[in-house]
Chain A
């Protein structure tokens, strides 16, 4: 059974750093891209970026480039999303998702067929 299990909710202060995780199981971790998606309170879904754990090839949305870092550790089948200095505006639910590749598209093209349960990040002074 494919599962993506995310780390628990976080409460942080502005300026603090944070790294949240997404542990995958039930499939070949190095064969699928992993995505991160943001959902701010009461708002829609935003595609942040993707990583291919096999070689750590990473693509970011321009809106998130330089704001976050996506990484993966294939030895423990875990992907990460991290911030070096949080802002209040980073308060949101963050989901990881497995990307099922569409082979007609360039690398990283596809849909999200399995999702983590979400990690709620709250940033407040």
Chain B
């Protein structure tokens, strides 16, 4: 299986901050990477697909970049609604594995 490693595991930030989460794949996945946001007690929500394409309806403060084995999710100016857990997922090779998650907390 392709291992997906996110860093950091926990991130403390303030409203208005710019934050970046990194996701590394154990082998190249081209650009077949998605980012999801999950709030407590809720199902995940798709934010970014194909590494950098913004899902319809997702605010433009979210952006993704990268290819091959290293990827980033950036939130340009944190809003109160953004405090949640974020997961990357590769869909290049079965099984389509997720990262372990990054919990974004209020500082």
Chain A residues engaging chain B, CB cutoff 8 angstroms: 37, 44-47, 49, 59-63, 95, 97, 100, 102, 105, 108-113, 115-118
Contacts and interface: CB of A to CB of B under 8 A. Distances in A.
Query: Majority SS of interface residues in chain B?
Result: loop
Interface string B64-92: 00000000000000000000000101011
Contact of B89 (A45, A95, A116): A45
Given A111-B49, A113-B46, A113-B55, A44 B94 contact: no
Interface of B: 1, 32, 34, 36, 38, 43-46, 49-50, 55, 87, 89, 91-92, 94-101
Contacts of B89: 45, 47, 111
Nearest to A49: B95
Contacts, number: 62
Contacts of B34: 111-112
B44 A47 contact: no
B96 A102 contact: no
